[in-house]
Structure 1
Amino acid sequence: MTSGIHHVTGITSNVQANVDFYVGFLGLRLVKRTGGYADAEQLHLVYGDGVGSPGSLLTFLVWEAAGRGRTGIGQVSEVALAVPPVSLGDWITKALAANIPLEGPFREFGEPVLRLKDPDGLIVKLVGVDMATPAPLPNAPIRLRGVTLLTDKVVETARFLTRFGYTEERRSGVTQRMGSDTDIVDVREVSGFVPSVSGGGVPDHVAFRARDIDELRSMRLSLKGHGPTEVHDRKYFVSLYVRDPAGILMEYATDGPGMTVDEAPAELGRTLFLPPHDADRAEDLRAMLPQFALPGEERFPARDLPFIHRFNRPQKPDGTTLVLLHGTGGNEAYLMPIARRIAPKSTLLGVRGRATEEGTNRWFRRVDAKTFDQQDIRGESEAFAAFVEGAVTGYGLDPDKLVFLGYSNGANMLAAVIQLHPGVVRRAVLLRGIQPLEKPPALDLSDTSVLALTGRDDAFARNAPALADALLAHGARVDSLELSANHELAAADVTESTEWIQRKLSMNR
């Protein structure tokens, strides 16, 4: 039986900061970038040694702008990476120079340990111990040394780990060390703690090594009386998922096929791969998934602006930018697929509304389905106007090549900004928008062009003319079209928006 850890999976809320830490600071190699196999709209990054060997792998699910998770019972709490003992002094110097939070060195079970925190707050321990990996990288951790588990059932958790080839080594205080042929798992008793909550900085699970599918099948049979298990083909390995008696999510993953099944060793980590079952929406997913730059690659600096936002850049941008405002329940990536079809060569800037309603994102609060909080609309419109100004200045966007596209609640937000802050939004496509303002001010909108697309079968369609009339009354140029559609977006929205945007931008040439 193969023993030891295959990989550890964490959660990050900032993909660029995560890449900068694990590749730029630690020196690991990005060996795979994929859409998630459980959720293809979630980016999944894999770091490891030079060829992505089992036992060297750290993987991260990207939850952009997610809140910090909560450390507690039933989780992996620390990840330990082996480094040559003589290198610890260099790591201290490097961490101090990079302003990485650092504690230590300490001695744990006789081994020297440095505790670092990654950008999400995950504790990464560098342990001075000689270990081996098939493709070591210069000036980088060698491989996984182990993990620490938090449990209120230390005896049961330790016994469960014996299924994966671990045996009891020794105990120090509230921590029981379990060892395999290659690494360790520290089982820490934390009775009285609150349960863990998923989020940035909290590991999702630890995966142990199975030599092949036969070992995995045998493990599943042995767990029949334990509780539910799931088996999934993740392309690079086959995985069995199970929870230990304390609720800790554990995985049993085959060593093969491995990270080189779809990329040559020299090309690892360069291509974004998507799950085969999502092939029919591959282009939409490429537009939605967050982009990042590896160390040394040209990058777009992030700016601290009042709204969460994300860029998606095509390979050959034409200098135009579409600013996207989602509808209720959407986020900064929601409109990127349709926007990419509308403007294949435009840079997309998706923005997330700051209001929430029963846990869903909105642009402003409402009293009921037809009554909007007027004070909140005005406050958020002012904040959005400041965001636009900051984005134009901070990212070097060309105001003459800027188009705004909003859907439903996002279209209503754009309508409010147009009327309250003339000149901020000069070209806008309003998809299923209505008038959000009860008393719009009498301001000059003659520098504004709007395309208003209404669905003929939309329940809100009867409210759309009031918005167009208000804009026209104050000098805006408005093209209103009624489509054979309901409130949902349709192919005609793409066709009409594409033609209108091309025509309006060509007037500036």
Structure 2
Amino acid sequence: MVKGLIQGLHHVTSFSGSAKNNIRFYTEILGLQFVKKTVNYDSPDTLHLYYGDKTGNPGSVTTFFPFSGITRGKTGNSSVTSTMFSIGADSIGFWTNRLKTHQVDFRGPFTRFDEEYIYFDDFDGIQVELVANAADLRPGCSTAGIPAEHGIKGLYSLTLSYASSEPTQEFLTRHMNHLLLKSDSDRSRLYSKDNQPGNYIDLLSRPSMPNHLPGTGTVHHLAFQTSDETSQEKIRTHLYRAGFHPSPVMDRQYFKSIYFREPGGVLMEIATAGPGFLIDESPNELGENLKLPHWLEAKREEIEAGLGMT
């Protein structure tokens, strides 16, 4: 047990198609801040785009690896099947009108666990939900056409789908300090840290759904937050001793990371809360320029040429 060390969600990372369309959807339509434009440190010929709240606080961030011309994936079991964002309790009407204006098809509103939500797909087929609630006290993202009272506050939860979710639920409760909050016939909601949006994980059992196929329009991994490198190492040691083979610590510039697969097959990450996205850009410059870690700066011209930026 890693009691008290898991502090909710940190981010979720997916594969997209066109970078231009991805930026448009998440900044212009959903109103998120373009937090960082960098590269996949493990494959620097690929962009890595980060969106979140005003400064990219942990628990608000969704990120993408854009690929043009690769096969579109298929959502399915053993993957994250829905990215759920938190909005104000009275904001569903605002968002249904906004999505209609931008010609984004949506379904709902529906009610789940006494909260209203709508869902829709981004331009690449990744399912997005907006969950209306009064519990989330984080400020909403405000931008042209989106007042703060209706803006997205951050991640609410992530839905993970399985033929059977029981092994993953046991893993989260036994090894990741999660507690069961509520459940219905096929969905269980767990939380870490405290019972607040941004700390939830939804587990969905879909026995007849095939496994996912990776590609554009699918989620690559999810990340939980921990406070610092000391707590991260405690989690890593626990996972190693429990037989889950966590990776070495990876320097992601804005946080440190370890990776592992849980029993249901989903790739998970433990990311530190800091140092954060303001170490190389001021708040009013976030997302404007391609930022590279110091070990890639010597290859900037080559990287920018490969990305078509020269």
TM-score normalised according to structure 1 size: 0.56
- The aligned amino acid for 1:174 is D
The residue aligned with 1:243 is: 261
**Cα distance in 1, alignment partners of residues 243 and 106 from structure 2:** 40
1:133 paired residue among 138, 147, 151: 138
Instruction: Identify which of 165, 168, 171 aligns with 1:157.
Output: 168
2:233 is aligned, of 181, 199, 217, to 217
SS in structure 2 at match of 1:64: coil
CA deviation string 1:454-476 (max 9, x = no partner): xxxxxxxxxxxxxxxxxxxxxxx
Map of 1:88-487 to 2, 5 A cutoff?
A: 88-130=92-134, 131-133=136-138, 136-137=141-142, 138=148, 139-162=150-173, 163-180=175-192, 181=194, 182=196, 183-224=199-240, 225-230=242-247, 231-289=249-307, 312=309, 314=310
Higher RCO by CA contacts (8 Å cutoff, separation 6 or greater): 2
Higher helix share: 1
Are the equivalent residues in 2 in contact too, given 1:40–1:274 (CA < 8 A)? no
The 1:135/1:237 distance shift into structure 2, 3 A limit, reads farther
Equivalent runs, 1:36-75 vs 2, <5 Å: 36-75=40-79
Amino acid at match of 2:255: F
**Structure 2 contact 179–191 (Cα < 8 Å) conserved:** yes
**What SS class does the counterpart of residue 35 from structure 1 fall into?**
strand
TM-score by length of 2: 0.90
Contact 2:119–2:127 (8 Å) recurs in 1: yes
Structure 2 unaligned spans of 5+: 143-147
From the two aligned structures, give the one with the greater strand fraction: 2
Shift of 1:192: 4.1
User: Which residue matches 1:30?
Assistant: 34
8 Å Cα contact 1:14/1:63 also seen in 2: yes
Find the aligned partners of 2:205 and 2:48 in 1 and give their Cα distance.
31
Instruction: Give the Cα separation in 2 of the matches to 1:150 and 1:279.
Output: 40
Q: How many pairs were matched up?
A: 292
Deviation at 1:208, TM superposition (A): 0.4
Structure-2 separation of matches of 1:135 and 1:94: 16
Q: Is the 8 A contact 2:244 2:262 kept in 1?
A: no
Deviation at 1:136, TM superposition (A): 4.3
Contact 2:159/2:204 (<8 A) preserved: yes
Does the CA-based 8 Å contact 1:6-1:208 persist in structure 2? Answer: yes
Cα deviations by residue, 1:298-324 (Å, 9 ceiling, x for unpaired): xxxxxxxxxxxxxx4x4xxxxxxxxxx
AA in 1 matched with 2:169: A
CA–CA distance in structure 1, aligned partners of residues 233 and 29 of structure 2: 39
In structure 1, what is the Cα distance between the partners aligned to 2:269 and 2:154?
Answer: 18
Task: Quickly say closer, same or farther: Cα 1:102–1:56, change in 2 above 3 A.
Answer: same
Match of 1:340 in 2: none
Residue 6 (str. 1) matches residue 10 (str. 2): yes
What is the DSSP-based 3-state SS (H/G/I as helix, E as strand, rest coil) of the residue aligned with 1:78? strand
- Alpha-carbon distance in 2 for matches of 1:121, 1:73: 16
What fraction of aligned residue pairs are identical, expressed as a percent? 33
- Counterpart-to-counterpart distance in 2, 1:201 and 1:132: 30
Q: 2:80 touches 2:160 (CA, 8 Å); kept in 1?
A: yes
Deviation at residue 152 of structure 1 after TM alignment: 2.8
Contact 1:53/1:133 (8 A) holds in 2: no
* Partners of 1:160 and 1:47 in 2: CA distance: 29
Give 1:186's aligned amino acid: D
Tell me the CA shift for residue 219 of structure 1: 0.6
Deviations 1:203-251 (A, max 9, x none): 1111001111111101111111322211211010011101110111111
Contact 1:49 1:133 in 2 (8 A): no
Secondary structure at the counterpart of residue 286 of structure 1: helix
Find the residue that maps to 2:90 and give its secondary structure.
Answer: helix
Superposition deviation, residue 274 in structure 1: 2.0
Alignment partners' CA distance in 2, 1:276 and 1:40: 13
Give the structure with higher Rg (CA).
Answer: 1
